[in-house]
Amino acid sequence: MDLLTYILPIVTFFIGSFIGYRIYRKEERLRHRLVWSRLERRNVMRTINSLVSAIDFKDKLTRNHSDNVKHYALAIAKEMGLSKAQIDTIKEACQVHDLGKIGVHDNILTKPGKLTEQEFKEMKLHALAGAVILKPFHFLDKVVLIVRQHHERYDGTGYPDGIKGDKIDIGARIMAVADSFDAMTGKRPYRDPISKEEALAELENFSGTQFDPKVVEVFVKLMKKGNDLFEIAGEASDVL
């Protein structure tokens, strides 16, 4: 009886300490993994952004394209009330969406005239190529999805998969509008820029066919209000 009175608290103490230590070690491991994955993600994104800069050197006319698309897309995403996690993903995806152009021949990227059918086929591969390049980074899976889908069309006539409507990720539907608006209002080797008003009219023309009508509506409303979208997106742009 006496023996049990002494031994029981000691055994309980050691078992308790052991369990406490195991819990502490597990939490430490989880914390480390979280810190490393954040660092890893940031470093990987910086490396990929350097690759995107390399494309900007090849194609000087589109130098600010990714930044512009990011600001337009983030302003839309915020206005639509998307979550912080979705906004972070869209931000990363915009920055790298045309990464696949690194595999497109310079003479096609900078051709001053209309592309032939064969050249356009090669240009179209950049959406898939970007997704393939990014795929090994498992933690970028949502970014990869948006990059792959950024040329899909709302009515299913886009590429590479020809998916339509809500099957296209909301990030890709937002990016499609932001991407097209910046492409139309910026100079391209094969044509001069059009005015913002004309570009907005084009988006409305293709609302429901090429673009998600809700996204077009939000973007047009923001632009017509005379909002500075770079300012609206500013806060969200500083997420990382």
Binding site for Fe ion (CB under 5 A): 98, 179
Nearest distance from C-beta of residue 97 to Fe ion, angstroms: 6
193: preceding bond cis by omega (within 30 degrees): no
- Please choose, from the candidates 46, 41, 147, 139, the residue with its C-alpha nearest in 3D space to the C-alpha of residue 90: 147
Using alpha carbons only, give the angle 149, 194, 159 rounded to the nearest 5 degrees: 15
For Fe ion, give the closer residue by CB, 164 or 188: 188
Q: Which residue, 92 or 98, is less far from Fe ion as judged by CB?
A: 98
CA angle 202, 206, 207 (to 5 degrees): 110
Closest contact distance (angstroms) between CB of 226 and Fe ion is 25
CB closer to Fe ion out of 7 and 61: 61
In degrees to the nearest 10, what's the CA dihedral of 31, 35, 38, 42?
-170
User: Closest distance between Fe ion and the C-beta of residue 28, in Å?
Assistant: 43
68 vs 207, beta carbon nearer Fe ion: 68
- Taking the C-alpha atoms of residue 213 and residue 154, their distance in angstroms, rounded to an integer, is 9
Min dist CB 150 to Fe ion, Å, is 6
